[in-house]
Chain A
């Protein structure tokens, strides 16, 4: 199980729009909100590290999002990363 806590910063004028768009992304739940500073926390659950990175990329690409970075990450089962593709 890969769980990550992502802090998102949205342009103040587009805060609600970003919040709704983030909540609609697969595996993403909105938790703490702080409209004053334009920030909110997304908790993302994903099958693999790979899917998790893709999710972060989707968040970063949302219109109005000025920053989205993974701050915290649990990988309780110790699942690692996949082997590099053969050259």
Chain B
């Protein structure tokens, strides 16, 4: 066949495959030809490695390479469609600058913090890593070492990392970049329902009438789900889409109602909706009485910044001071029933999550100040919009939500989660849906979406957070530790009861010398964390040792002392869990290039270098007090370990991972259908690491509301992931709903059975009045949370709001998607979206270069006044993907005091001509 005819032949084949994938009519002859063109290829099902939607894809390999990818027509999530990011799944393995060998900073043939990156062998790399880890561990104990992981971890990677740190090194300093992404959603799930993760599923999109986007630009961030939303809107004419946002974006194009609000005013808007639901008799009283209670908590909770200005730049000190004392503005004062100008000491900053029961009458009193006049004036985000028009829009929104004939879905992601009151604003969304009785039923959902492919499946379910253990358990609960120690076969009191440092905490610890060793896996924290100047300088100038495992050179790699080349998605076995509780698995398709290795292999090899006697003796733990522990010390558990049959000379690899029961799970396995396993091969072992560790992990959830199916089931040809709990082979669509959720007993209707935080004292809006705990088993909480002003707001000097976010062509920090030159031409560098009048006021116009400066740093950006994002006067927007233009240098590192998630969405900046 000549190349031309081969080309025509392939084109016809591509056309037939595309048509068949999305269900367009296609002839048998065309399909037969497509099949012929693909002779010698092996197709296999897989999952997209980019966002949290969890689209199914098909991957074809030939001659040890990936040769084609396509949307999976049988995947219920995306039904054959893919967005532009999905398309990179195959291509991304073959970037010209893939890392293929370890690189270490060296001078005169040895490690030197000031040296240049030099290729080294794995042995040299790991020898130095071991030496540096030991130095930090001996000097500081378990709190001196850390891992920053990711919602891009496979389930098995997260499990190995969590077990190695928590059971092996007895350190809780492991936290994922998911902390920056949906920690607020997690905390709100736990506080409201006592159990993590959504009740509903994507199927609800096709069953609903009103879809409300709360600060979620789905058209750019979740395009495949957005296509389901827009399909629904076109197919069912009564379906309405509302985009509540701080600026006009691509999601506005297909919305029926766009409501532009001021940053952080969502809290007030929600309280108005709650107030009106009650005032207009729209509350579903039967549902609320039977299944809900009312609750609130303290308001004086700070903003999660350091309590000292010791490390602050001079310009930062005024914002930082508000961590301890806040002067109430007019809006906060009214919303909290106080006086404007009152100085409030932030007394509850270390106990922000504390809450108590209140009566319905107290709840009503809480929402009472949020009248339409008050809320419209506070919330209206576009200064040019007439107030009457804005009020009319709020009324339309209210009608679309409270109409008893309409099903309602609220979707949100970063607009809620990256918020100084992120937990509150999540909780208040449940408040609205619960008051209406429109939650956890077909077509009715308050639905938290996620940004990363396994933010749910790994970061949350496995528990790679500083406070978590598998299956919703937490390190500071003695019963949870005991259960985990039993499952992991550890001596009692091996696990560390003190919550570790979260991601901002670890970065601050490096700056102040508390942490000396950091291993970064599957993420890019030095680019993706706010107030980045501090952490980059700290990493380079303290005596810390920073290891970064990645597949491409990233900013974090450049900041590191040692860079380890990592295998990518289809070069390893793995599993992800998406935002609708769907667990999906894939087989390894090809081998990693050069010396690149899987993260699991790296951790298991590292585990071989440490013996029980080094880690299970008595360890210093500053700040540990009570709970049956000596002050500041983790106990020696070696004697009990010996009694359990462990040899103090045994390695962490043997005790935690290569256990006899795991080694009995043999590789090769029929499920592989002849494919390789790069972890097993590099280890030189004959046990199926990913399968054995998945099954070990799955024990935690089975029988505890988190049931996963057996490993092999996910690889069946007729399975496209399963939504847990999977009980008796059946997945669960609606949690908490009788007839759907196997954990809900007949006759209950609903059962919000989550066990956490379900015995509470009672009080009024301001305080506890009766400390005696009342059980609220089976019920969900309807929280009252007042409006709270953002800690930093525009003033005379820094006179604009800055919001940061993601755009369609680039995923997260762009370390993978940014490798494609044309993508960079479409969105060449981070641009600064601003209103033309704001530009004119500063003597600049479209395509001019400007300085943008916050209290924390400054950089140059290119102005855009008429791109895809139309800013209201007073606000600017920049995406954070561009490594050369590090927008996160500007962002404020305040975090939600309950969830410890950072607020990337609001800080004050000034803009002037460069």
Determine the distance from Cα of A5 to Cα of B14 in the docked complex, in whole angstroms.
Answer: 6
Cα distance, A80 to B17, chains bound together (Å) = 22
Are A80's CB and B15's CB within 8 A? no
CA distance A34 to B15 in the complex (A): 13
Residues of A within 8 A of B555 (CB): 87
The answer to whether A53 touches B822, judged by C-beta atoms less than 8 angstroms apart, is: yes
Q: Which of chain A's residues 10-55 have a Cβ closer than 8 Å to chain B? A: 29, 31-32, 34, 37, 39, 41, 43, 45, 48-54
Known: A84-B819, A87-B883. Is A5-B81 also a contact (CB below 8 A)?
no
Q: Are A34 and B65 in contact (CB under 8 A)?
A: no
Among the 9-residue stretches B82-90, B268-276, B658-666, the one with 4 or more Cβ atoms under 8 Å from chain A is: B82-90
The verdict on B346 contacting chain A, using a C-beta distance below 8 Å, is: no
Let me know if B29 is at the binding interface, CB within 8 A: no
Residues of B within 8 A of A71 (CB): 18, 21-22, 70-71, 80-82
Residue of B nearest to A38 (CB): B234
Q: Which of B81, B93, B553, B825 is close to A80, meaning CB atoms less than 8 Å apart?
A: B93
Asked whether A45 lies within 8 Å of B68 as measured between CB atoms, the reply is no
Tell me whether A82 and B90 are in contact in the complex, defined as CB-CB below 8 angstroms, given that A7-B81, A32-B26 are known contacts. Answer: no
- CB pair B14 A4 closer than 8 Å: yes
CA distance A69 to B48 in the complex (A): 15
Which of B4-12, B379-387, B459-467, B854-862 makes up part of the contact surface? B4-12
Contacts of B94 in A (CB 8 A): 78-81
Q: Tell me if B818 counts as interface (CB < 8 A to partner A).
A: yes
Complex: A41 Cα to B16 Cα, angstroms: 9
Residues in chain B near residue A52, CB distance under 8 A: 822
Chain B residues near A87: list those with CB within 8 A. 555, 883-884
- Residue in B closest to A34 when the chains form the complex, CB atoms: B24
Is A62 an interface residue, CB under 8 A from the partner?
no
Contact B822 A73 (CB under 8 A): no
Contact of A74 with B67 at beta-carbon distance under 8 Å, contacts A81-B94, A87-B884 already known: yes
Question: Residue on A with the closest CB to B558?
Answer: A87
Q: Which of B82-110 contact A (CB under 8 A)?
A: 82-84, 86-88, 90-97
Complex Cα gap A7–B13 (Å): 14
Contacting A at CB under 8 A, from B794-840, are 809, 815, 818-826
Flag if A32 contacts B70 (CB, 8 Å).
no
Asked whether, in the complex, the Cβ of B15 is within 8 Å of the Cβ of A41, the reply is yes
In Å, the complex CA distance between A69 and B227 comes to: 10
- Which residues of the partner chain A approach B80 to less than 8 Å between Cβ atoms? 7, 71
Q: Is B230 an interface residue (CB 8 A)?
A: yes
B69 in the interface (beta carbon within 8 A): yes
Partner of B823, one of A6, A53, A67: A53
A49 in contact with B230 (CB, 8 Å): no
Residues in A with CB closer than 8 Å to B819 are: 81-84
Task: Check if B14 sits within 8 Å of A72, measured CB to CB.
Answer: yes
Q: Is the CB of B820 within 8 A of A3?
A: no
CB A51 to nearest CB in B, in angstroms, measures: 7
Residue in A41, A69, A79, A85 whose beta carbon sits within 8 Å of that of B84 in the complex: A69
Assess whether A50 is in contact with B84, with CB atoms less than 8 Å apart. no
In the complex the two chains form, what is the Cα distance from A82 to B822 in whole Å? Answer: 10
Bound-complex Cα distance A87 to B822 (A): 16
Contacts known (A70-B82, A84-B97); A75 close to B823, Cβ less than 8 A: no
B169 close to A (CB within 8 Å): no
Given contacts A1-B7, A3-B14, A4-B14, contact A73 B824 (CB under 8 A): no
Q: Among A39, A70, A79, find the residue whose CB has the most chain B CB atoms closer than 10 A.
A: A70
CA–CA, A6 to B19, complex, Å? 9
- Which one of A48, A56, A72, A81 contacts B95 once the chains associate, using CB atoms below 8 Å? A81
What are the interface flags for B103-135 relative to A under an 8 Å C-beta threshold, 1 for contact and 0 otherwise?
Answer: 000000000000000000000000000000000
A80 to B66, CA, bound (A): 10
With A32-B26, A76-B10, A87-B883: A50-B822 Cβ-Cβ less than 8 Å: yes
A5 to B18 alpha-carbon distance, docked (Å): 5
Query: Which of chain B's residues have a CB closer than 8 A to the CB of A67?
Result: 227, 230
Is B97 a contact of A73 with CB atoms below 8 Å? no
B101 to chain A, nearest CB (A): 16
Contact, CB under 8 Å: A41 / B19: yes
Given contacts A3-B10, A81-B91, whether A72 and B21 have CB atoms under 8 Å apart is yes
Which residues does chain B contribute within 8 Å of A49, judged by CB atoms?
91, 820, 822
Interfacial chain B residues near A81, Cβ < 8 Å: 88, 91-92, 94-96, 819-820
By CB atoms of chain B within 10 A, which of A32, A37, A57 has the most?
Answer: A32
Known contacts A5-B18, A81-B95, A83-B97; A72/B68 CB under 8 A: yes
State A4–B10 Cα separation when bound (angstroms). Answer: 10
In the assembled complex, B623 has its CB within 8 A of some CB on chain A: no
- A34–B234 alpha-carbon span in the complex (Å): 17
For residue A29, which residues in chain B have a CB less than 8 angstroms away from its CB?
11, 15
Given known pairs A45-B7, A75-B90, A82-B96, the reply for A39 and B818 (CB within 8 Å) is no
CA distance A76 to B826 in the complex (A): 26
- Closest Cβ neighbor of B815 among chain A residues: A84
Contact digits for B520-554, partner A, Cβ 8 Å, 1 yes 0 no: 00000000000000000000000000000000110
Query: Are A78 and B67 in contact (CB-based, < 8 A)?
Result: yes
**Bound CA–CA A74/B11 (angstroms):** 9
Q: Least Cβ distance of A41 to chain B in Å?
A: 5
Q: Which of B62, B90, B92 has the most CB of A within 10 A?
A: B90
* B25 close to chain A: CB less than 8 A: yes
Residue of A nearest to B12 (CB): A31
A82 near B821 (CB under 8 angstroms)? yes
The 10 closest A-B pairs by CB, nearest first: A80-B94, A5-B18, A50-B822, A31-B15, A72-B70, A83-B97, A32-B19, A83-B96, A87-B884, A5-B14
Seen from chain A, the residues whose Cβ lies within 8 Å of a Cβ on chain B are 1, 3-7, 29, 31-32, 34, 37, 39, 41, 43, 45, 48-54, 56-57, 66-67, 69-76, 78-85, 87
Query: 20 pairs across A/B with beta carbons < 8 Å?
Result: A3-B10, A4-B14, A5-B70, A7-B22, A29-B11, A31-B11, A31-B19, A32-B26, A37-B24, A43-B14, A53-B822, A57-B826, A69-B84, A70-B86, A71-B18, A73-B87, A76-B62, A81-B820, A83-B95, A84-B818
19 more contacts with CB within 8 A, not counting A69-B223, A81-B94, A84-B818, are A1-B10, A5-B15, A5-B19, A32-B18, A41-B24, A45-B7, A50-B822, A50-B825, A51-B822, A69-B83, A70-B82, A71-B21, A72-B21, A74-B14, A80-B91, A83-B95, A84-B97, A84-B553, A87-B883
Please report B residues at the A interface, Cβ cutoff 8 Å.
7, 10-19, 21-22, 24-26, 62, 65-71, 80-84, 86-88, 90-97, 223, 227, 230, 552-553, 555, 809, 815, 818-826, 883-884
